[in-house]
Chains A and B, each alone.
Chain A
Amino acid sequence: MSKNRENSILLEMKNISIEGYSDEVWHPIIKGVDLQIHRGEILGLIGESGAGKSTLGLAAMGFVRAGCRFTGGSVLFGDQDLTKMNEIEKRELWGTKFSYVAQSAAAAFNPAHRLINQTIEASISHGISKTETLEQEAITLYEEMQLPNPTEIGDRFPHQVSGGQLQRTMTAMAMSSKPDLIIFDEPTTALDVTTQVNVLATIRNIVKEHNTAAIYITHDLAVVAQMADRIQVLRYGNTIEESETNKMLKTPKEDYTKSLWAVRSIKKKENKNKEKILTINNIDASYGSGPKVLQNVSIEVPKGGTVAIVGESGSGKSTTARVVTGLLPPDKGEIIFQGQKLTPNLSDRSKEDLRKIQMVYQSPDTSMNPKHTVRDIIGRPLEFYHNMKGKEYTNRVIDLLKMIELDETFIDRLPSELSGGQKQRICIARALAAEPDLIICDEVTSALDQIVQEGILKLLLRLQKELSITYIFITHDIATVKAISDEVVVMHNGLVVEQGMKSEIFSPPHPDYTKLLLSSVPEMDPNWLTKILSSKK
């Protein structure tokens, strides 16, 4: 790291300001940020959504998205100021000196072209080398990125390889022209944790080996701790704090920086309850005539407790929720709720059964009608299940708003007038309005920032205490599981790997899959990735 310090400055942004155009006004997005990057150095850029990380990352290439503009400052690359160059001059640098790795590899690859052609496209169009040479080099890069079948994978189309492989291919694509600087924009956010470990390791190796400088953008402090030499924290378009990685983790100066790992500080004491509210016995389920998505799944949910179902995408977590709610009648097996067998199909269930089980979804944006006000959204179950009208109805809506720590001024707002955290609170209030015994929370905090997540989790815990509601909490995030659950169910490929009290699941011995899953969750220790990799070998 000290060696990097001695290297010369590759790129320097001075007092850069960027504005974005929306609702017919220009809003500041980046408010005078300084940023330096040395040759061969990895700079971590961290902050929550809306902090301006991506905008700043792209601005390092002299690029602003449509509807944005530079309003001040300079981006110095050598003796050139990128903010003063025209498009044609900048195009000479893009794809040669600078490369970009986007968040969603699935969307950033053109579905119409083969991977190899996209990998070497920039180098070909800039005339860096001959096609055959570049293809050979690309294969070497695929090898370095540990892609399976490096000689043949390039002939595939993007939809024919997995998300993790695509993300690695994109890094190879960025490396193809041997750039001086690569911007990684949340490259592992869309990946499962077990996939993320490998992608992180390969990215780190290749960048270090080629001595390429990189700006690594992420919202996950633990991830950036593995990757970066230096970390810069952004909030609302300003730099909050900037220092060497080790120093930042040991002695963060600003409260805001400390709050970035807030969820990790909630620790619910686990409670054991013998009485079961819900028992799922030997469930098999599938969509249409497709393969079995759930196989022989049995889960027990204690009354008044929280069961976290944890697993990666495709593990069958959400399908389990769909079976419990009756949205997907199972192929076989039974669901026993409060001592009685539930009818498999939603449309055959009594209103009372429907009322007792409520759901909160991952994305409040799509689970609320954008044309309904908060009153309509929360009030609908009051009307439907409890026949409330008039003053009683309004009072109850206000009560519910208070329960979720919002005041009555919110009652006439539309979802578009709420923040992400507030929207999720409204969804929780809507579930509460039915006065349910069981709430299924499907990845309810995944789309939210750390601090907002903390607020939502604390709210859920408080409500549980006051109303003794039972939760099934579906998540892929181990930190959330640790924060909120009493019992944990680990799922993988439609099977239950294990179920038990939180303390049992998180202490060894583990089944192989649980071990892999737990070991893949990045920790704050900057040497974590190195340790994991050496322990694998």
Chain B
Amino acid sequence: MHPILSTLIKRIGLGIVSLFFVSLIIFSSIQLLPGDFVEAQLGQARTEETVAAFRKELGLDKPYHIRYVNWVTAAVQGDLGSTFSGRNASYANQPQQSTARTVTSLLKPRLYNTFFLAAMTAIIAVPLSLLLGITAALYRNTFYDRAVNASALTTISMPEFFVAYILIIFLASIYQFFPSLSNVTSSTPFLERVYLSILPALTLTLVTVAHMMRMTRAAIINLLSSPYIEMAELKGLSRSKVIIKHALPNAWAPISNIIAFNLAYLIVGVVVVEVVFVYPGVGQLMVDSVIKRDIPVVQGCALVFALTYILLNLLADVISIITNPRLLYPK
């Protein structure tokens, strides 16, 4: 078997193992959350009987480990369970009339929105930061390099919501180019969706470019003292050729890692931006569900986030492997 294939299989296996551990952590840490959905939902008028019946309906009467096994078994089959909050407490005694929605149906449109925003941001931010990083390395210690670094550091130093409000002031309020509310729905047509998502995408671009750009620059400059770079210079190659042909191909591994890290952030860490622009993403859903103690939804979101992280890191690993001839073409 080609060594790359076996490495890949190993990585996927490791990914599955990590996902298993993450599911354990998610499940047990959610048990530690204070408060209880049943008592909150039934309010002051609850009796012991109604509480017990409601618990039974939600499956909360079973021991932890059985609930975990049931949850994981269903999740593997793509079923993340039903939400708590869709149920009406007054129907607690007639479970067959329950109106609960499944977590998957709740998560799906939100997840689509989140991926849409992340993809839109990535399409702007990744090429931009690569370009800035490479040119900053090429013209290092010049005015250009310092200007790019300074502005990148400025944007990364400001909190996301602040960047978002500044953009709203200038691009939505003073000059009314874009809407300040990004309330997309599943029926919004594609182009309008893009238009509505521009400001949140721009905010996220400003926040992530600095990190990716500086790491690209550092990864390239790190290689510039290698003997093969000196050799390339002594072949009379121009500076841009030296960097693009000789430094960049050896810098893909660290660069792809940092891009994967930022893409993961775009999917799992953007709740503040979603709130500012009233964008219906997974982040908001998760925060709402935590407040409502809607445990299946919280668990579902956390699991999806973990999966995203693992998949993106797997992708970064694959890129490091295929850009390294030592691994791609063994002796």
Q: Once the chains bind, are A95 and B226 in contact (CB under 8 Å)? A: no
| Contact with A91, one of B230, B237, B249, B329 (Cβ below 8 angstroms) | B237
Q: Shortest distance in angstroms between B232's beta carbon and chain A's nearest beta carbon?
A: 7
A104 contacts across to B, CB distance below 8 A: 227
Question: Known interface pairs A108-B228, A111-B325, A160-B331. Does A122 touch B235 (Cβ–Cβ under 8 Å)?
Answer: yes
Q: Is B236 in contact with A157, judged by CB distance below 8 angstroms?
A: no
SS of B interface (majority): helix
B250 touches A95 (CB 8 A): no
A121 contacts B by Cβ under 8 Å: yes
Interface string of A94-113 (1 = CB under 8 A from B): 11101110101001111111
CA of A32 to CA of B66 in the docked complex: distance in angstroms?
A: 85
CB distance from A57 to the nearest CB of B (A): 11
- A92 close to chain B: CB less than 8 A: yes
Least CB distance, A525 to chain B, in whole angstroms: 33
The CA of A160 and the CA of B232, in the complex, are separated in Å by: 20
**A112-B325, A157-B325 in contact; A107/B236 too (CB < 8 A)?**
no
Q: Within 8 Å of chain A (Cβ to Cβ): is B287? A: no
Interface residues on A, range: 20 to 34
A107 and B228 alpha carbons, distance in the complex (Å) = 6
A93 at interface (Cβ–Cβ under 8 A)?
Answer: yes
Contacts of B331 in A (CB 8 A): 159-160
- Whether, in the assembled complex, B246 has its beta carbon less than 8 Å from a beta carbon of chain A, the answer is yes
A126 touching B226, Cβ below 8 Å: no
Q: Please, how many angstroms separate the alpha-carbon atoms of A248 and B56 in the complex?
A: 100
Contact present for B326 and A91 (CB under 8 Å): no
B250 and A125: CB pair below 8 A?
Answer: no
Report the bound CA distance from A100 to B236 in whole Å. Answer: 11
Q: Is A61 interfacial (CB 8 A cutoff)?
A: yes
Are A125 and B237 in touch, CB under 8 angstroms? yes
| Contacts A94-B235, A121-B235; A160 near B329 (Cβ below 8 A) | yes
Interface string of A467-485 (1 = CB under 8 A from B): 0000000000000000000
Count contacts between A and B, CB distance < 8 Å.
Answer: 77
In the assembled complex, the CB of A167 is this many whole angstroms from the nearest CB of chain B, namely: 13
A residues less than 8 Å from B324 (CB atoms): 111
Query: Could you say which residues of chain B place their CB within 8 Å of the CB of A94?
Result: 233-236
Given contacts A92-B236, A121-B235, A125-B237, contact A109 B326 (CB under 8 A): no
CB distance from A397 to the nearest CB of B (A): 38
CB pair B227–A159 under 8 Å, yes or no, is no
Interface string of A26-40 (1 = CB under 8 A from B): 000000000000000
Q: CB-CB < 8 A to B250: which residues of A? A: 110-112
Partner of A110, one of B228, B233, B238, B326: B228
Query: In the complex, what distance in Å separates the CA atom of A90 from the CA atom of B324?
Result: 33
0/1 string, B184-228, CB within 8 A of A gives 1: 000000000000000000000000000000000000000001111
B246 with A110: CB separation less than 8 A: yes
Cβ of B46 within 8 Å of any chain A Cβ, yes or no, is no
A91 touching B231 by the CB < 8 A rule?
no
A159 near B236: Cβ-Cβ < 8 Å: no
Report yes or no: B326 in contact with A102, Cβ–Cβ below 8 A: no
- For the complex, is B10 an interface residue (Cβ under 8 Å from A)? no
Pick the most buried of B231, B236, B238, B324: most chain A CB atoms within 10 A of its CB.
B236
A63 in the interface (beta carbon within 8 A): yes
Bound together, the chains give a CA A61 to CA B236 distance in angstroms of 11
- A108 neighbours in B (Cβ, 8 Å): 227-228, 230-231
Interface string of A106-133 (1 = CB under 8 A from B): 0111111100000001100110000000
* Interface residue A391 (Cβ < 8 Å from any Cβ of B): no
Q: Known interface pairs A159-B325, A159-B331. Does A121 touch B237 (Cβ–Cβ under 8 Å)?
A: yes
Report the minimal beta-carbon distance from A499 to chain B, rounded to whole angstroms.
33
Given A107-B227, A110-B228, A96 and B326 touching (CB < 8 A)?
A: no
A-B contact pairs, 13 of them (CB 8 A): A63-B234, A91-B237, A99-B234, A108-B227, A108-B228, A108-B231, A109-B231, A110-B231, A111-B324, A111-B325, A113-B246, A156-B329, A157-B326
14 A-B pairs besides A98-B234, A100-B234, A110-B232 with CB distance below 8 A are A61-B234, A63-B233, A65-B230, A92-B236, A94-B234, A94-B236, A108-B227, A108-B231, A110-B228, A111-B324, A112-B250, A112-B323, A121-B237, A122-B236
Q: Give the 7 A-B CB pairs with smallest separation, nearest first.
A: A94-B236, A95-B236, A122-B235, A112-B249, A95-B235, A107-B227, A91-B236
Q: Which B residues are closer than 8 A to A by beta carbons?
A: 225-228, 230-238, 241, 245-246, 249-250, 323-326, 329, 331
